[in-house]
């Protein structure tokens, strides 16, 4: 009860913008959103920033992927890298709703949410979930579409080293067969459009590995949606 009261009170107190530190204000002020969160043309298959005339990006012209599309709100750099770090590693789960607002505002995200039958978070391993205390992807999925969000349908069945410590090709091998579908939910996925949610997409290896069992379960379309997309896949 005390925790609920504390969070309710905190939500009504003035706050500082996490980017420019203006106070009192919103956690993300309108000026910083306007300056740092402007939409950019992105490859519709991998969400990398591209020149307006390039669709898809050169890498996606020849690379097969279990993802039909990928969407991102911002690039993973200043100031959003710091915001994501606060969200994930410094016990700031309330940030999910603020990041979800920016995600919903990105081009093509509202149509993707409307078309999705299910919104599934990228799962964490049991060990990582216990260490962090929450799954940031699940909080984002709930904030984006509470009626369609489903936890524990897509499972992490193998713990792996952090992707950030590995090079591109190593990342693919690292997450191979790390994900599976709850057998009791396979029939719910057949022929359905799935939106796969995470906070950051770097090389895309984890999202592609998670999309594979969804396709094998018969999902009709799998789209990745992330808050931030790294502009280097290395």
Token code pair at residue 204 = 């895309």
Q: Which residue has the tokens 């579908």?
A: 181
pLDDT in tens, 8-38: 333 444 478 888 888 766 788 899 999 999 9
Cβ contacts of 14 within 8 Å, gap of 6 or more? 23, 24, 25
pLDDT in tens, 35-60: 999 999 999 999 999 988 777 898 89
pLDDT in tens, 103-149: 999 999 999 999 999 999 999 988 888 888 899 999 999 999 999 99
Which residue intervals of the chain bear CATH 3.40.50?
40-229
pLDDT of residue 163: 52
Phi/psi-derived region of residue 16, left when phi > 0, alpha when psi is between -120 and 50, beta in every other case = beta
- Tell me, yes or no, if the pTM score tops 0.75: yes
Give the DSSP letter string of 130-148. HHHSS-HHHHHHHHH-TTT
Name the fold adopted by 40-229: Rossmann fold (3.40.50)
Q: Is the pLDDT of residue 80 over 60?
A: yes
Q: Is the pLDDT of residue 85 over 70?
A: yes
Give the DSSP letter string of 20-51. T--SSB-SS-HHHHHHH-----B-TTT--B--
Following CA atoms 104, 17, 232, 141 in sequence, which dihedral angle do they give, to the nearest 10 degrees? -30
């Amino acid at each position: 009860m005390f925790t609920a009261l504390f969070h309710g009170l905190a939500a009504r107190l003035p706050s500082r913008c996490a980017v420019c530190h203006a106070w009192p204000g919103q956690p993300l002020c309108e000026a910083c959103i306007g300056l740092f969160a402007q939409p950019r043309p992105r490859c519709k298959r991998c969400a990398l920033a591209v020149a307006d005339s390039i669709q898809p990006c050169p890498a996606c012209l020849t690379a097969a992927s279990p993802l039909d599309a990928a969407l991102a709100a911002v690039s993973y750099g200043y100031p959003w890298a710091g915001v994501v770090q606060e969200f994930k590693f410094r016990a700031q789960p309330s940030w999910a709703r603020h990041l979800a607002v920016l995600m919903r505002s990105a081009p093509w995200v509202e149509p993707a949410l409307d078309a999705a039958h299910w919104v599934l978070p990228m799962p964490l391993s049991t060990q990582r979930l216990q260490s962090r205390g929450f799954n940031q992807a699940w909080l984002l999925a709930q904030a984006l579409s509470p009626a369609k969000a489903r936890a524990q349908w897509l499972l992490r069945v193998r713990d792996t080293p952090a992707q950030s410590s590995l090079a591109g090709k190593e990342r693919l091998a690292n997450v191979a067969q790390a994900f599976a579908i709850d057998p009791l939910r396979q029939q719910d996925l057949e022929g359905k459009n799935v939106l796969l949610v995470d906070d950051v997409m770097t090389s895309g290896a984890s999202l592609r590995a998670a999309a594979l069992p969804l396709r094998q379960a018969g999902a009709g379309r799998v789209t990745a949606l992330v808050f931030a997309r790294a502009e280097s896949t290395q």
